[in-house]
Amino acid sequence: MTDTAPALDRRHVPADLPPRIQHYIDGAFVDSLDGDTFDVLEPVSNEVYVQAAAGKKADIDRAVAAATRAFTEGPWPRMLPRERSRVLHRIADIVESRDARLAELESFDSGLPITQALGQARRAAENFRFFADLIVAQADDTFKVPGRQINYVNRKPIGVAGLITPWNTPFMLESWKLGPALATGNTVVLKPAEFTPLSASLWAGIFEEAGLPQGVFNLVNGLGEDAGDALVKHPDVPLISFTGESSTGQLIFGNAAPFLKGLSMELGGKSPAVVFADADLDAAIDATIFGVFSLNGERCTAGSRILVERSIYDEFVQRYAAQAQRVKVGYPHDPDTEVGALVHPEHYAKVMSYVELGKTEGRLVAGGGQPKDFAFGNFIAPTVFADVSPDARIFQEEIFGPVVAITPFDSDEEALALANNTKYGLAAYVWTNDLKRAHNFAQSVEAGMVWLNSNNVRDLRTPFGGVKASGLGHEGGYRSIDFYTDQQAVHITLGAVHNPTFGKQDHFTEVDLDDPDPR
Residue ranges in 257-343 assigned as alpha helix (H): 281-293, 310-326
Q: How far is the CB of 233 from ligand NAD (least distance, A)?
A: 9
Q: Is 272 in the site for ligand NAD (CB under 6 A)?
A: no
Q: Which is nearer to ligand NAD, 38 or 128 (CB)?
A: 38
Distance of CA 20 to the CA centre of its chain: 26
Closest CA relative to residue 56, chosen from 26, 29, 23, 27:
23
Q: Which stretch binds ligand NAD (CB under 6 A): 152-160, 217-225, 382-390, 499-507?
A: 217-225
Q: How far is the CB of 121 from ligand NAD (least distance, A)?
A: 16
Separation CA 313–CA 248 (nearest Å) = 37
Q: Is 39 in the site for ligand NAD (CB under 6 A)?
A: no
Separation CA 509–CA 487 (nearest Å) = 33
Q: For residue 441, what are the CA distances in angstroms to 124, 271, 280, 353?
A: 32, 14, 17, 33
Closest CA relative to residue 267, chosen from 454, 179, 174, 398:
398
Residues 95-134 that bind ligand NAD (CB under 6 A): none
Separation CA 291–CA 327 (nearest Å) = 13
CA angle 55, 56, 58 (to 5 degrees): 110
The dihedral region occupied by 222, where left means phi > 0, alpha psi between -120 and 50, and beta the remainder, is left
Q: Which is nearer to ligand NAD, 89 or 468 (CB)?
A: 468
Which residue in the set 225, 315, 373, 512 belongs to the binding site for ligand NAD (CB under 6 A)?
A: 225
Bridge partners of residue 450, in order along the sequence: 428
Q: Which is nearer to ligand NAD, 54 or 339 (CB)?
A: 54
Which residue in the set 191, 305, 344, 479 belongs to the binding site for ligand NAD (CB under 6 A)?
A: 191
Residues 306-365 that bind ligand NAD (CB under 6 A): none
Q: Which is nearer to ligand NAD, 124 or 415 (CB)?
A: 124
Q: Is 76 in the site for ligand NAD (CB under 6 A)?
A: no
Closest CA relative to residue 276, chosen from 454, 449, 433, 443:
433
Q: Which stretch binds ligand NAD (CB under 6 A): 31-39, 142-150, 191-199, 365-373?
A: 191-199
Residues 284-303 that bind ligand NAD (CB under 6 A): 300
Which residue in the set 244, 303, 330, 476 belongs to the binding site for ligand NAD (CB under 6 A)?
A: 244
Angle between helix axes 114-137 and 99-110 (nearest 10 degrees) is: 120
What are the residue numbers of the active site?
266
Quote the radius of gyration of the chain (alpha carbons, Å): 25
Closest CA relative to residue 284, chosen from 310, 303, 311:
303
Which residue in the set 426, 438, 449, 481 belongs to the binding site for ligand NAD (CB under 6 A)?
A: 426
Q: Is 268 in the site for ligand NAD (CB under 6 A)?
A: yes
Q: Is 177 in the site for ligand NAD (CB under 6 A)?
A: no
Q: Which stretch binds ligand NAD (CB under 6 A): 26-34, 123-131, 135-143, 243-251?
A: 243-251
Q: Which is nearer to ligand NAD, 157 or 401 (CB)?
A: 401
Q: Which is nearer to ligand NAD, 210 or 460 (CB)?
A: 460
Q: Which is nearer to ligand NAD, 181 or 426 (CB)?
A: 426
In a 3-state reduction of DSSP, which class is residue 471? strand
Task: Return all residues near 400 (Cβ < 8 A) that are at least 6 apart.
Answer: 168, 268, 297, 298, 299, 302, 347, 350, 351
Q: Is 199 in the site for ligand NAD (CB under 6 A)?
A: no
Q: Is 174 in the site for ligand NAD (CB under 6 A)?
A: no
Which residue in the set 22, 165, 187, 485 belongs to the binding site for ligand NAD (CB under 6 A)?
A: 165
Residues 354-413 that bind ligand NAD (CB under 6 A): 398, 400
Which residue in the set 55, 77, 159, 166 belongs to the binding site for ligand NAD (CB under 6 A)?
A: 166
Separation CA 160–CA 59 (nearest Å) = 15
Q: How far is the CB of 462 from ligand NAD (least distance, A)?
A: 13
Separation CA 18–CA 205 (nearest Å) = 13
Q: For residue 212, what are the CA distances in angstroms to 74, 79, 86, 169, 203?
A: 11, 11, 10, 24, 11
Q: Which residues bind ligand NAD (CB under 6 A)?
A: 164-168, 173, 191, 193-194, 223-225, 228-229, 232, 243-245, 248, 251-252, 266-269, 300, 398, 400, 426, 466, 471
